Amino acid sequence: MGAKTFAYIVLLATAFSVASASDPSPLQDFCVAVNDTKDTVFVNGKFCKDPKLATPNDFFFSGLRLPGNTSNKLGSMVTPANVAQIPGLNTLGVSLARVDFSPYGLNPPHIHPRATEILTVLEGTLYVGFVTSNPENRLICKVLYKGDVFVFPQGLIHFQLNVGTTNAVAIASLGSQNPGVITIANAVFGSKPAISVDVLTKAFQVDKNVINYLQSQFWTDNHTY
């Protein structure tokens, strides 16, 4: 096999692996998720009901009508609309979330392991940003106003802060039926069981008392499920 031919095969294989890195394309019109395994087929992590039994409610969710309860330490609440709330999203590779902010409320640094996010501001003023991967760890940030849109690439740490004196609302569109979320502080300092203090003191280069204090805090989860 010639060097050029081999290089071409490697290039094709790489392109295919990248193209397959997100939710797979559906193989049918829809696959409404069900929890009952009787007379169903396992596809994309959810069982599918018989398409003939699908109803409008399988593709409907009213949970984004009302603002989320932001009376928590973060002053924000995320209301998702993914496959857990809309069974008809199964295999379709998209989802939404409503993010409500009280004045100066924060949606803290977090990642979506399975999705890129596009955020649209409906009301208020948000300071948003994401951090690129090692070794640069470059902060890319901007202040957004009503109607503005910002993209957070898949897997990168990002955040949103309401810098206004009034409530703010945003809609996040995500490129996965189940994008997942990992809130950095909750995962590092609120894991169960706790990560060894020796690991965290060396990683963050601080005194053990600082780590003990952080691990003793109640880490707010600002997502509804």
Which residues, 6 or more positions from 88, have their beta carbon under 8 angstroms from its beta carbon?
A: 30, 32, 33, 54, 58, 59
- Please count the helices (runs of H) and the strands (runs of E) in the chain: 4, 13
The response to whether 110 counts as a known ligand-binding position is yes
Two structure tokens written together for 194: 């706790």
Query: 104 in the Ramachandran plot: left (φ > 0), alpha (ψ -120 to 50) or beta?
Result: left
Task: Mention every residue, 6+ apart, whose C-beta is less than 8 A from residue 29.
Answer: 51
Q: What 3-state DSSP class applies to 34?
A: strand
223 belongs to an annotated ligand binding site: no
Q: Which two tokens stand for residue 26?
A: 């559906």
Q: Cα(104)–Cα(99) distance, rounded to whole angstroms?
A: 13
143 within 8 A of 205, measured Cβ to Cβ = no
Q: How far apart are CA 59 and CA 57, in angstroms?
A: 5
Residue 107 assigned ligand-binding role? yes
| Binding-site sequence positions for Mn(2+) | 110, 112, 117, 158
| Binding-site sequence positions | 107, 110, 112, 117, 158
| Binding-site sequence positions for oxalate | 107, 112, 117
